[in-house]
Structure formats: C-alpha cells, structure tokens
Structure 1
Amino acid sequence: MRNCLLFLAVLFSVAAHSNVVHEERSLYRNIIVDETHDLRCLKFNTKSSQTSQSCMYKNNPDKLVFNYTKLTFASLLVTDNPKNVLIIGLGGGTLSNVIHALYPAAKIHNVEIDPAVLKVARNYFNFIENDAVTSSVQDGRIFIKRAAIKKQKYDWIILDAFNGDYIPEHLLTKEFFEEVKSVLAEGGVIAANTFSSSKLYEHESATYHAVFGDFINVSRANRSNRIILAGVNSMPTEAQINQRIKALNPRLKKYDVDLKAISTYMQSTKNKQDWPANTKVLTDQYSPANLLNF
C-alpha cells in the first residue's frame, strides 16, 4: 500500500494544514486518520516516516486516489468476471468497495492482520460489508494455509500487505507463493502491489518466476510501484484487450480508471526478463526483504 513518491511529496507539503480526526496505537503500529481539504487519509506513523496507506476524496469517494490502486485493475484485462475474490491487506477497503460495485454477485473476502485497521476502514472510509463482502482479522499466510486445507479457490487474489517501511517477509517467499498458487482457480490471476525501485526488485522477480513462470509487470516509468500479475503465462491478445477495454472502461470511468492507458504499461517477462539468471530466490530460510528494500 505504498503510494507514489510525487503524491507523498504533495501530502508532506500540506501536512501542516491537516486535521487529525483519529489516532490510536494498535498492536502493530501507530494509526492516524487525517484530513487535508477534501482528502482523508489513513496513515501509519513510524519513528522514521509517516506513510499514507489509503486515501479518499470526501466529496467524491468513488474516485481513486493512488495510481497503484488503479493499476491493480489491469487484472481485468487477463481474467474475466471474477466470482471469488481474496484481498490480503485491507487499508481503507477501497479495492474491495470498487470490486463489489463492479461485480455485486462476486464473493469478496478481505484479510487484515490488524483489527484497528478494520475498525478505521469501517468508521472513516465507507468500507462496505454484507453477505457478499466479508472480512477476517488474521495473518494472511495463515488464512491461505487454511484455505488450501479446505480446498477453497479464488479467481482473483490481491496481495496488498506491504508498505514503504515494512514488508512481512513471510509473505514474500517461494513457499508462500506456492501456497497462494494452490488456492488460485484455473484461469485466475494474482495481483501483487509491490515496488520497482529497490534492491528487492530482482529477488522478488526471481521468486515469482520460480513459482509461476512468466508473469506480467504493470508499472509506469519513474514510479516506485509496480503490480505483478502472476498465474498467467502470456499477455492477452490485442483483440482480447480491446474487447475488455470496450466493455469495462465505461464502468470504470467514475473511479478514474482508464484500462486503455493501463494496458500500455503491461509487459510480460517472457519478452523482458530484467533480472540476472543467478538471482537468489527468497525462501522461508532466506528472506532478508526489509534489508533489501532500500
């Protein structure tokens, strides 16, 4: 849930004018909800920085704020009409709300380790829960393990549990990705929000490739975030992309998501494997993700 550096700079420049509407210390972090003009943001406050995890425009809550959130919808160019969606990492619940609006019949389950984050999403970010949209407070890997035992399958799995200050290392290993793969339905896709501007990039890419084979990178030039689309071994054809853009873009317009533009940021590693062949794969025994993330 790491937003682009430019947007962080803008937020920092107006921080003195922000109004804190909620603040608490959870088991995992210091949580702040503040408002600057029309923008309400969920932030995690650490000793070194304050990072925005989720934001919404109070006067237009449908409009997405962060580019990485918009890029996540590249998933819809490679999978069609998801019926069972799993989201690891809640933030303000933005992704869940939009997916529910697009596919009201789909079953969506959100997994968040911090009960305080779930409470904040409910109280300050219009997070929707109903018969179709459910939530659990649990470690994402434990949830995946139990889902595998129950032989549950999901056709869209979104991994959004990282932030700029800390990476849950057990969610970035070959063994974890193998567990995720075991609950991915045939024809489904995994969308992982991650980074493109650290030493972690090569190790992470090698680890995804070791489990899923070729994957799709979705990233904009000179931006710190990327979305990895895994579980799909090749790019959809131009005809398939155009067909889905035509069907989905009118529905996504209110969220400020342009699939036509996003499609130009997609690139398969089949044609561009941009990490050394001998890059070490991250495992449960070797996963120095936080040391590499700088």
Structure 2
Amino acid sequence: MLNILENDGVRTLHFGSSVVQGAMRVNQPNDIELEYVQQMMMWLLFRDNAAHIVQLGLGAAALTKFCYQRLSPAKVTAIELDPDVITACRNHFALPPDDGRLSVLALDAMDYVSDFSLRRSIDVLQVDLYDAQAIRPLRSTAAFYAQCASCLTATGILTINLYCDWPEHLHHIQMLQESFEAVAWLPEVHQGNIVAIAFKRSPSVDFDDLHKRAEQIQATLGLPARTWVDGLHKWMSNDEEPVQG
C-alpha cells in the first residue's frame, strides 16, 4: 500500500508505514530534497562523463529525474520491482515518460544485474533498495554486490544507501570490499543513513582536486559537494584505508 503525504511544500512517498521512501519539494521537482539522496551523487567528485547511469530502487525518483534532467546526454535507467511505485512517481513526483535517454523498468534488481548482456556496460550504479519497514537493505548479499560489480565498466562506481542498525553497516561494507577495489563512506545522516561509495578500480585521491571539483559541482548543479569532500576527509583521518581486492 502506497501513501503520498504533503507538508510544508514537501511531498513524501511511503510504503504503508511512517518511513519516508522519497521526497520532492513541490516547487522544485527536479532537485534532490533529502541529504542522503544528495550524497548518492558523490560519484561526481570522481567522474563527470558517465554515459549510462542506473538506479536500483526508484523511491520518489529523485535521482532518476536529477540525472536525466541535469546530466545530459547520459542514458538513465531505473529499476523498480513494484509497478505501483512507478505509476506513483509518474503521477505525483514529476517522473517524465520514457524516451531515448530514460528507461524505467519494472524488474527485480538481482534479475537486472544478473543479465549477462549488461556486463561492463554501466558507468554508475546507485543502489537504494528497501521495503515498507526499511529495517535493512534488500538484495544486499555478497552475490548481489558481485553482480553489480560485473555490470560496471572498468572505472565504474557504485553508491549505496545503507540504512540499518550499526554495526550491520560494516557487514555490507565488507561484502562490497569482496568485489570492489576500494570502498569509503560518509558520516551518518537522518538517524541512520550511511552512504557508501565503491570503486571498481581504486582511484587516485588528491583532496585539492576534490575540493576544486566540489566547487564546480556546487556552482553548476547546486549539490552540497563540499560536505562530501569534508566527509571523505574525515573518513581518511580516521585511518580507514580503502581495502585492496
């Protein structure tokens, strides 16, 4: 059962519970309202030429709309198991119809990433898979993360929302490290959301370059990219080194 609520100009999507599955500011429908969803775009610090961006889990379509509207000519694909969520996004959250750049598919995420024809074809994967109770990420097993990695190009990047009780986050980080050369994460926001970034190939990190890139992102896309760099710097200062595969 889907519920759509609106308060102070912000429309929210719920799966029959109080848990917010997505949000949209009504007078800014193509912006990303929630901080952790903004953080799912931190891959922009490391590349700006993604040709194919995929969201696993549609939510209120914030990432899908943003990538489609602001990152042309990239192809954008969203995978959502529940057709009713797709319909709700089209009717209430300003999700455009499919066209040559946008495809929204009613599929299971594991089935999608297991498709052999997708091997090494996706530049960026954004994973946000939860049910109504949002107790822990769905489909998030070592096998699932391995399939995600196999879909990515050699320099592909995955971002994922890890909303679960600590230290379960670490279990997911460890599974990601089995299939990705480097994994990092930002500090917790929204009472439990931790967004991680996983690199198919370990990047060369220069924080001066990241700060410059963050300034460009803030100026052109309006995303709070400086806070992402600060979060990554905090992660590094805690002696959390990327694990090599």
How high is the TM-score relative to the length of structure 1? 0.74
1:215–1:268 Cα contact (<8 Å) kept: no
Match of 1:180 in 2: 148
- 1:133 equivalent to 2:102? Answer yes
CA distance in 2, matches of 1:165, 1:221: 15
- 1:209 equivalent to 2:177? Answer yes
Superposition deviation, residue 246 in structure 1: 3.2
CA distance in 2, matches of 1:234, 1:269: 17
2:2–2:16 Cα contact (<8 Å) kept: yes
Instruction: Find 1:65's aligned residue among 33, 54, 64.
Output: 33
Match of 1:227 in 2: 195
2:31–2:62 Cα contact (<8 Å) kept: no
CA distance in 1, matches of 2:238, 2:47: 19
Instruction: Find 2:5's aligned residue among 34, 48, 51.
Output: 34
Instruction: Find 1:45's aligned residue among 16, 41, 65.
Output: 16
For the pair shown, the structure with the greater C-alpha radius of gyration is 1
Match of 2:56 in 1: 88
- 1:107 equivalent to 2:75? Answer yes
2:31–2:66 Cα contact (<8 Å) kept: no
Superposition deviation, residue 242 in structure 1: 2.6
Match of 1:165 in 2: 134
Superposition deviation, residue 136 in structure 1: 0.6
1:215–1:270 Cα contact (<8 Å) kept: no
Superposition deviation, residue 91 in structure 1: 1.0
Report SS of the residue matched to 1:52: coil
- 1:153 equivalent to 2:110? Answer no
Determine what percentage of the aligned residue pairs are the same residue. 18
Report SS of the residue matched to 1:110: strand
Ranges of 4+ aligned residues in structure 1 off by more than 6 Å? none
Superposition deviation, residue 223 in structure 1: 4.2
Superposition deviation, residue 152 in structure 1: 5.2
Q: Which amino acid counterpart does residue 141 of structure 1 have in structure 2?
A: M
CA distance in 2, matches of 1:269, 1:107: 36
Match of 1:260 in 2: 226
How high is the TM-score relative to the length of structure 2? 0.87
Superposition deviation, residue 131 in structure 1: 1.6
Match of 2:163 in 1: 195
Show CA shifts across 1:237-283 (max 9, x none): 12321332233221222xxx211122111235993169xxxxxxxxx
Superposition deviation, residue 53 in structure 1: 0.7
- 1:124 equivalent to 2:116? Answer no
CA distance in 2, matches of 1:42, 1:217: 26
Match of 1:282 in 2: none
1:86–1:156 Cα contact (<8 Å) kept: yes
* Larger deviation, residues 112-121 vs 174-183: 174-183
CA distance in 1, matches of 2:147, 2:198: 13
CA distance in 1, matches of 2:190, 2:19: 19
Superposition deviation, residue 165 in structure 1: 2.7
Match of 1:8 in 2: none
Superposition deviation, residue 235 in structure 1: 5.8
CA distance in 1, matches of 2:41, 2:134: 25
Show CA shifts across 1:156-187 (max 9, x none): 11111125534464x21111111111111122
Show CA shifts across 1:87-109 (max 9, x none): 10001111011112221110010
Show CA shifts across 1:117-151 (max 9, x none): 000000000012322111110000001111x3453
